[in-house]
Homo-oligomer: A and B are copies of this chain.
Amino acid sequence: MVVVMTPDATDEDVQRVVDKVTAVGGEAFVSKGLTRTIIGLVGDIDSFHGLNLRTLPGVGDVQRISDPFKLVSRQHHPERSTVWVGAPGQQVPIGPDTFTFIAGPCAVESAQQTLEAVEMARAAGAVMMRGGAYKPRTSPYAFQGLGVKGLEILASVREATGMPVVTEVVDARDVAVVAEHADMLQIGTRNMANFGLLQAVGQAGKPVLLKRGMTATIEEWLMAAEYIAQRGNLDVVLCERGIRTFEPATRNTLDISAVPIVQSKSHLPVIVDPSHAAGVKDLVVPLSRAAIAVGADGVIVDVHPHPEEALCDGPQALLGADLRSLAQAVRQLPPTVGRVDAGTARR
């Protein structure tokens, strides 16, 4: 940490900081400038936080130098991790050597719709299925998902197709039942900072797909992963899904740069959800291509056999020619960035 003193700080003010830091076992290096003095702190950063240096007289600012996350940081874990999802024999990898294509309906509406959507997804090359049983909706009057019945449908479709299931959990009280039915627990964008829920999935014994909060910085997102990891679960896959900006042409702005940045700061895999970022199906294929080319470890997209009947996010669901386009991109592009189809690496 670096403590920046105000221009009018006195020698006593500087000494007070030095004394506080050394009292907890740290070292303080003073650089006296013409207009400002700065103090470099060396030692255990957690002990410095308790000092409340920012409230001391003469202190203008305190700047953190190191990343605040530890378990998910790449600093002490230089090799990028692979997370395996599914039952033995059907396990699909998400990691640096493969490309994992995940697809399915936004919401589980019925057994038939789910099965049809997943069959479409599989035909296009998907190796994992998605589908929501619990839907957090902006309006209390909108469809909120089938709940446990939706989970049962997902489990039966997995039975029929052999594809591992990722599904969202929105309430800590539901974590056990979701973990019982699904292979991977998704934390949605609205719950990225729901710390009780993060801790609950950290103890559920299943891999977690952690979507970025639509307004979260990359650092906050990695801190949310740290919450899960701290409860003993390092099988966390991050998912970029767009951030909130001033641009109204898309529902959210896909932050494609987040992929290489996350990969440089953390060892965790990172995938992209182009469907929810764009909000319209016409952008899903080009954004998926961009995601593969930028080096994402996978994509997760919405498909629906009858978008005009969808109970949730119909306008962004792929089918027909668009889905064939995506299938082609998923076959063609990953090898150009040195990756193989995750389906060929099942174990």
- A residues contacting B by CB (< 8 A) are 2, 4, 7, 27, 29-36, 38, 40-43, 46, 49-50, 52, 54-56, 63, 65-66, 68, 75, 136-142, 170-173, 190-191, 193-196, 213-215, 217-220, 223, 226-227, 230, 243-250, 253-261, 264, 277-278, 282-283, 286-287, 289-295, 307-311, 314-315, 317, 332-333, 336-337
Contact = CB atoms under 8 A, between A and B. Distances in A.
Nearest to A265: B249
B218 A247 contact: yes
A137 to B, nearest CB: 7
B195 A194 contact: no
A68 B332 CA distance: 39
The 8 closest A-B pairs by CB, nearest first: A215-B215, A31-B40, A293-B293, A29-B31, A171-B196, A190-B193, A289-B293, A290-B294
B214 A215 contact: yes
Given A247-B218, A256-B287, A42 B52 contact: no
A215 to B, nearest CB: 3
B250 A257 contact: yes
Number of copies: 4
Contacts of A282: 260, 264
A139 B136 CA distance: 25
Given A46-B141, A65-B4, A253 B264 contact: no
A55 B243 contact: no
A308 B49 CA distance: 11
A16 to B, nearest CB: 10
A68 B247 contact: no
Say whether chain A's binding surface is mostly helix, strand, loop, or mixed. Answer: mixed
Contacts of A41: 31
B293 A226 contact: no
A55 B63 CA distance: 22
A114 to B, nearest CB: 18
A257 B283 contact: yes
Given A31-B42, A33-B42, A336-B336, 20 more contacts: A2-B40, A7-B75, A52-B308, A55-B315, A55-B317, A172-B172, A172-B173, A173-B173, A173-B196, A190-B195, A194-B194, A217-B246, A244-B246, A245-B253, A246-B246, A257-B277, A261-B283, A289-B337, A290-B294, A293-B293
A255 B264 contact: no
A140 B195 contact: yes
A293 B288 CA distance: 9
Contacts of A172: 171-173
A317 to B, nearest CB: 8
A310 B257 contact: no
Contacts of A247: 217-218, 243, 255, 258
A43 to B, nearest CB: 8
